[in-house]
Amino acid sequence: MKYSYYPGCSLKGTGKAYEESVLAIFETMGVEANEIDDWNCCGATAYMGVDESMAFGLAGRNLALAEREGATDVVVPCNACYLSLNKANKYIEEYPQVKEKTDKALAAGGLKYGGSLKVRHPLDVFVNDIGLSRIKDAVKTPLKDLKVAPYYGCQIVRPYAAFDSQRNPTSMDQLLDVLGADVVDYPLKTRCCSGSQTGSLPEVGLRLVYILLKEAKRRGADVIVTICPLCQFNLESYQDEVSKRYKEDLAIPILYFTQVMGLALGLSAQKVGLTRNLVHVFPTLDKREVGHV
Amino acid sequence: MTTPKSMKYESERDHDFSEWITGVVGSERIRNCIQCGICSSTCPVSHYMDYTPRRLINMARQGFKDEVLRSKTIWLCTSCYSCTTECPKLIKVTDVMYALKRKAIQERVYPRRFAIPILGKEFYKMVRAKGRITESRLMMIFMLKTNLLRIFTMSKMGLRLIRTGRMDYKPESVKRIKELQAVMDASSDRKGVSTS
């Protein structure tokens, strides 16, 4: 299996652990993922609101570069980047005026996009390309007794339900299940984490984070597992502030689904970036005697 | 006892504006809105908005340009796409919000000291210059421009991010920046609009 890989800005910054764990798992599962040479910002949310055509131009350059390298599927771990590239891909196909504009813009940079690519999320690749049975066979240390709340975030299934249900996605639930974890029913799984508003408008953003943390705790989860760097950052980094604001202890480890997967596949804590977490999962793992770290 | 009520008059409507919004990619179906309010009820931040999404959609198509473009609602939208997913008339409400944000910036009527448009702008400037975002630098610039006090409350988090190697000092940048800037300039809708 061979894919083109688009990391996006977060995976080179605050979301380093996500990149480390994604790549470690690709290696373990024999997936070849080549980072797109000289990729640029995906034209994410903040950008769409300033200049939409330019956002499509930015996404278009990434798609053009990947296509030139001979890729057919681009794997994008960040939900926001995943949506940006997906949306550009779809709008270029759907709206002739978008295609015309993007073509012209790319030509100005000496590039061309033929529209042949598929934008994929690693979760999609694991569940639908590698398959749950192969992953189950590769599990070395099952995550016995670890209660996990699966948190998908919004942009993975909205507005496009490319590989899972829009209202009640279950692919990560199934994946966690074959890893041996105890999957908690978490109905807020696609509720918004507030995106960048934790920074720009704390009274709004922190409230949304509070709702998510509180619900996971109330349902007895030991950890929340995410698939998006911004969700991970919001839920983890603001825990102190949220706990103080709402006078409740809301401390809970927030892991990337690939970190949890790595542990089950027998990879070291270092290899899946667990030492980069601010709220450590080690005490929880020790208590539950889950695998070795 | 009387309750204060503001009245809207036909003369306040801007027909060019309502014409414009239905012509924007993604906003075509706005006239099909049946005002059911599902967008507002599914929106995670509607209770913080000055007009709910349902009201804003109606005001936009009626042509109440000034109220719509000056509203905080459009800046509060987090782009979670709940409204777009749930709308029974298939209106791409999130896209409408994006279109209104862009228009508000173009017409320079966005709430000036409101933090969210400032973040959008700083994000934009960094991508124009470097092609990529360096998160820690963006956050720093943003805090300096909006809320100095929050730097103090967030310094503890910053230190922990440094300790875990998640703060990058080295600015991220693409190699072929000229190629990227050519693409950006050729695709811009905002020719002649200053980004500063």
Rounded distance, CA B123 to CA A170, Å? 34
Rounded distance, CA B89 to CA B124, Å? 33
**A259 compared with B152, residue with greater pLDDT:** A259
pLDDT for residue B110 = 86
Contact A1, A30 (CB under 8 A): yes
Q: Quick one: CA torsion of A36, A41, A45, A51, rounded to 10 degrees?
A: -120
Assign B153 a pLDDT band (cuts: 50, 70, 90): confident
Q: Which of A14, A45, A276 sits opposite B79 (nearest CB)?
A: A45
A191 contacts on B by Cβ (under 8 Å): 44, 80
Q: Which of B97, B172, B180 sits opposite A61 (nearest CB)?
A: B180
B 152-171: CB under 8 A from A: 153, 156-157, 160-161, 164-168
B168 contacts on A by Cβ (under 8 Å): 12-13
Q: Which of B79, B115, B132 sits opposite A195 (nearest CB)?
A: B79
Q: Which amino acid is at A56?
A: F
B189/A53 touch (CB, cutoff 8 Å), yes or no = yes
β-sheet with A32-35: strand ranges across: A32-35, A2-5, A73-75, A118-120
Contact A202, B118 (CB under 8 A): no
Copy the structure tokens of residue B175: 């190699």
DSSP track, B75-105: HH-----HHHHH-TT---HHHHHHHHHHHHH
Summarised one tens digit per residue, pLDDT across range A94-119 is 999 999 999 999 999 999 999 999 99
Strand blocks (E) in A153-240? 182-183, 223-226
In what helix (H) or strand (E) does residue A27 lie, and over which residues does it extend? helix A16-28
Summarised one tens digit per residue, pLDDT across range B27-52 is 999 999 999 999 999 999 999 999 99
Summarised one tens digit per residue, pLDDT across range A208-246 is 999 999 999 999 999 999 999 999 999 999 999 999 999
C-alpha to C-alpha distances, B32 to A78, A259, B35, B42, B87, nearest whole angstrom: 34, 45, 9, 19, 11
Q: What is the percent of chain B with per-residue pLDDT over 70, rounded to a whole number?
A: 93
pLDDT for residue B192 = 43
How many CB pairs below 8 A link A and B?
A: 201
Helices H, strands E: what count in chain A? Answer: 14, 8
Helices H, strands E: what count in chain B? Answer: 11, 0
- Mutation choice for A interface testing from B72, B107, B183, B189 by most A CBs within 10 A: B183
pLDDT for residue A9 = 94
B146 SS3 class: helix
Assign B155 a pLDDT band (cuts: 50, 70, 90): confident
Assign B196 a pLDDT band (cuts: 50, 70, 90): very low
Task: Kindly report which listed range (A61-75, B80-94, B166-180) carries the lowest average pLDDT score.
Answer: B166-180
A120 SS3 class: strand
- A184's torsion region: left (phi>0), alpha (psi -120 to 50) or beta? beta
Asked if the model's pLDDT at residue B17 lies above 80, the reply is: yes
ipTM of the complex: 0.93
Summarised one tens digit per residue, pLDDT across range A47-59 is 778 888 999 999 9
Q: Which of B85, B146, B150 sits opposite A158 (nearest CB)?
A: B85
Q: Which amino acid is at A103?
A: D
Copy the structure tokens of residue A195: 């995106």
- Which residues lie below 8 Å from residue A286, measured CB to CB, with a gap of 6+? none
Rounded distance, CA B147 to CA B135, Å? 17
B183/A105 touch (CB, cutoff 8 Å), yes or no = yes
pLDDT for residue B5 = 65
DSSP track, A196-259: THHHH-HHHHHHHHHHHHHHHHHTT-SEEEES-HHHHHHHHHTHHHHHHHHTS-----EEEHHH
A243 contacts chain B (CB < 8 A): no
B115 contacts chain A (CB < 8 A): yes
User: Which residue from B minimizes the CA distance to A273?
Assistant: B164
Q: In sequence order, which ranges of A39-185 are alpha helices (DSSP H)? A: 45-48, 52-68, 79-94, 96-108, 122-124, 132-138, 171-178
Give percent helix, percent strand, percent coil of chain A, each to the nearest 5.
Answer: 50, 10, 40
Q: Which of B131-166 are b and which e, b meaning 16 or more Cβ less than 10 Å from the residue's Cβ?
A: bbbbbbbbbebbbeebbeeeeeebeebbebbeebeb
Rounded distance, CA B55 to CA A161, Å? 27
B156 contacts on A by Cβ (under 8 Å): 240
pLDDT for residue B1 = 63
Q: CA angle B81-B134-B80, nearest 5°?
A: 5
B56 DSSP 8-state letter: H
Mean pLDDT of chain A: 95
Contact A77, B164 (CB under 8 A): no
CA distance between the termini of chain A: 29
User: Which residue from B minimizes the CA distance to A236?
Assistant: B157
Instruction: Kindly state the average pLDDT of the residues A14-18.
Output: 96
Q: Which of B115, B143, B184 sits opposite A58 (nearest CB)?
A: B184
Instruction: Kindly state the average pLDDT of the residues A144-167.
Output: 95
Instruction: Kindly state the average pLDDT of the residues A184-204.
Output: 94
Contact A189, A171 (CB under 8 A): no
Relative to beta strand A32-35, strand A2-5 is parallel
B194 contacts chain A (CB < 8 A): no
Summarised one tens digit per residue, pLDDT across range B88-113 is 999 999 999 999 999 998 999 988 77
Other C-beta atoms lying within 10 Å of the C-beta of residue A69: 13
Rounded distance, CA A230 to CA A209, Å? 12
Other C-beta atoms lying within 10 Å of the C-beta of residue B15: 10
pLDDT for residue B193 = 44
Assign B194 a pLDDT band (cuts: 50, 70, 90): very low
B132 contacts chain A (CB < 8 A): yes
pLDDT for residue A283 = 87
Instruction: Kindly state the average pLDDT of the residues A126-133.
Output: 98
Rounded distance, CA B21 to CA B103, Å? 10
Short-list B110, B170, B105, CA closest to A54: B105
